[in-house]
């Protein structure tokens, strides 16, 4: 029997969860190692293994401070660093997802180690992820943001956190309350990835 953990007020079966400061981290999918080091209430470093976001089941680290947000909401962060490594598809960014299950619906925007800024969406449970490349030479440090209005989601990027450029938009029918946070995956690199997030804010 899998050990239950309490994660942001919800009972989650079989997830590896670390509770440090205001932010909490867990592994989604078969990834066995996810860690978080918090520097303040909105600055932290997320360490994870995982696979590229392109299949029917996610394999990554996920961290949340707000837990679930209800209705219209948004999250913004400055992705300041992705650790050096051998896998260009190592990615760190922001995500809104319906559940913590591996096949959950979600939208994400992230910065890769070698392929710039991308958006990721899964509009139906356990479907393949739709990946859209936006800016191949936009590497960290870079700002990213996701905005939800009803079931309409828009992802953005910015070089300064002031002027925002749209990365992607998608209509995804999700529950009123969704998990909001940051993600990291090493993209198949067995040495893992370390992603630094600063000035993370939600509303």
What's the whole-number average pLDDT of the chain?
87
Report the 10 Å Cβ neighbour count for 52: 21
User: In the chain, where are the structural domains located?
Assistant: 4-202
CA distance from start to end of the chain = 37
Q: What is the DSSP letter of 86?
A: S
Q: What is the pLDDT of residue 135?
A: 76
d(CA 181, CA 200): 9
Secondary structure tally for the chain: helices H, strands E: 0, 18
Contact 90, 185 (CB under 8 A): yes
pTM: 0.88
pLDDT at 16 over 80: no
**What CATH number was assigned to the domain covering residues 4-202?**
2.60.120.200
Residue among 63, 50, 59, 135 at smallest CA distance from 93: 63
pLDDT, average across residues 47-64: 93
Structure tokens at 16: 């590896």
Contact 117, 142 (CB under 8 A): yes
Q: Which residues pair with 145 in a beta bridge?
A: 76, 156
Neighbour count for residue 122 (Cβ, 10 Å): 25
Residue 6, pLDDT score: 31
pLDDT (0 to 100) of residue 32:
60
Return the closest-CA partner of residue 199 out of 34, 2, 42, 28.
Answer: 42
Position 84 scores a pLDDT of 81
Give the 3-state secondary structure of residue 115.
Answer: coil
pLDDT of residue 136: 66
Using one digit for the tens of pLDDT, what is the confidence trace for 127-174? 999 998 877 678 899 999 999 999 999 999 999 999 999 999 999 999
């Amino acid at each position: 029997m899998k050990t239950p953990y309490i994660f942001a007020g919800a009972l989650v079966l079989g997830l590896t969860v670390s509770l440090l400061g205001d932010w909490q981290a867990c592994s989604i999918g078969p990834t066995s190692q996810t860690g978080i080091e918090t520097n303040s209430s909105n600055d932290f470093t997320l360490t994870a293994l995982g696979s590229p976001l392109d299949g029917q089941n996610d394999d990554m680290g996920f961290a949340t401070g707000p837990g679930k947000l209800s209705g219209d909401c948004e999250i913004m962060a400055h992705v300041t660093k992705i650790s050096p490594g051998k896998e260009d598809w190592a990615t760190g960014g922001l995500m809104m997802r319906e559940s913590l299950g591996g096949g959950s619906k979600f939208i994400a925007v992230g910065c890769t180690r070698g392929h710039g800024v991308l958006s990721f969406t899964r509009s139906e449970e356990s479907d393949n992820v739709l990946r859209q490349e936006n800016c191949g030479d936009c590497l960290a440090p870079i700002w990213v943001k996701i905005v939800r209005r009803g079931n309409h989601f828009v992802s953005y990027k910015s070089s300064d956190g002031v002027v925002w450029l749209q990365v992607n938009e998608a209509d995804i029918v999700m529950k009123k309350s969704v998990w909001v946070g940051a993600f990291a995956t090493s993209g198949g690199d067995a040495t893992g990835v370390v992603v630094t997030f600063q000035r993370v804010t939600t509303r």
